Structure 1
Amino acid sequence: MEVQSLVAWNLRRLRVERGISQDDLALAAGVERAYVGYLERAARNPTIITLEKVAKALDVNIAQLFREPGPSEEVPATLRAGRKKKS
């Protein structure tokens, strides 16, 4: 798997596992929301600084963004669109 695709796969996996929207991740990482989408589609080549910001926002070691998926792992599904219901 190409490194950009690997980062994209892991970024989406980690974000979805945590139930974090692209908007919330972007805000926490200090990057544009559209940029998070570009990264998840492997459409941009992020700097190490950006990867560090994203990893911190996800509360993971930066190495997790480079983890090879297992043979049975599927591309993570997207989160349901729209706003969360108020409690």
Structure 2
Amino acid sequence: MDSRDLVAWNMRRLRVEKKLSQEKLADLASVDRTYISRLERKMENPSIGVLDKIAGVLAVSIAELFVPPPPDAAAPRPLKAGRRPGLVKSDQ
């Protein structure tokens, strides 16, 4: 796995473990949701600043985003589809 693969793998793994949607992670890290999606799909090369923001939201060090998975590890599964608690916006 190259660095981009490792970042994508670990971002998704950590995000799903913490039950954060891409939208919520993006909001908390002050980056665009589509950018988070593109990172997880290995379509972007993030800057150190962006990695720092993402790692901070995920409560890990930047180094954790580069840790190779065990050889027998299954790919991180997506969160269950649908609205996440706390994301519903009210007009009231």
**Same-fold status (TM-score > 0.5):** yes
Alignment of 1:36-55 (within 5 A): 36-55=36-55
Show CA shifts across 1:14-68 (max 9, x none): 0001110000000000000000000001100000000000000111111110001
Separation in 2, partners of 1:61, 1:20 = 18
Structure with higher Rg: it is 2
Percent identity of equivalent pairs = 49
TM-score by length of 2: 0.89
Which residue pairs with 1:26 in the alignment? 26
Shift of 1:72: 1.3
Quote the RMSD (CA, aligned, Å). 1.2
Using the TM superposition, give the Cα deviation of residue 80 of structure 1 relative to its aligned residue in structure 2, in angstroms. Answer: 1.2
**Gap runs ≥5 in structure 1:** none
Residue type of the alignment partner of 1:64: E
- Paired residue for 1:58? 58
Aligned partner of residue 46 in structure 2, secondary structure:
coil
User: Aligned with 2:52: secondary structure?
Assistant: helix
Q: How many residues of Structure 1 are paired with residues of Structure 2 in the alignment?
A: 86
What is the aligned partner in structure 1 of residue 89 from structure 2? none
Runs of 4+ more than 2 Å apart: none
